[in-house]
Amino acid sequence: MLGIGIRQAMLDSFYDTLARTFLTFTFFNSLLGAIIAFGVIYNTIRIALAEKGRELASLRVMGYTQNEIAHILFGDMAVLLVFGVFSGWLFGQGLAWMIVTAMQTELYRVPLTITAHTLGISATVVFVSAMVSGGVAWWRLRHLDLVAVLKTRE
């Protein structure tokens, strides 16, 4: 009976260590994913603002409010973001399946388990990164040079 208790304690310790390792690994992957998502979304917004900055400033001069201009800029980004999250889920599941299939050996097999909770966490990380990127871009949008737009001749 004592041998069974020691074996069970050993297994419990192993599973606890494995769970902490996976939790730490998942935390750092999520952190890196958030940083990458922030960078990609912020650069996309900056590029869109650089391309449309003159037009958006012209709209401000014509009487559009800052909220209306932000709606134009961030509306495009929201469509891209939603499409990107859904396609990222599909691509991620396919990539995870390929990795799990490639790692299978005669000694062990890792099951592929992707839950709705996991997909929700990934979408939350991307949406929070998008909100932070949007906040930075909102500040830049407030400081468009309206005078320069009025001075240009076309």
Is there a domain that residue 19 lies in?
A: no
Is there a domain that residue 16 lies in?
A: no
pLDDT band at 3 (very low <50, low <70, confident <90, very high): low
Domain hosting residue 135, numbered range: 34-151
Distance of CA 126 to CAs 13, 57, 120, 135, Å?
A: 34, 29, 10, 14
**pLDDT tens, position by position, 97-136:** 999 999 888 888 888 888 999 899 889 988 998 999 888 8
pTM over 0.75: no
Q: What is the CA radius of gyration of the chain?
A: 24
pLDDT band at 89 (very low <50, low <70, confident <90, very high): very high
Number of domains in the chain: 1
Is there a domain that residue 28 lies in?
A: no
**pLDDT tens, position by position, 26-68:** 889 888 988 998 899 889 888 888 888 788 888 888 888 888 8
Is there a domain that residue 102 lies in?
A: yes
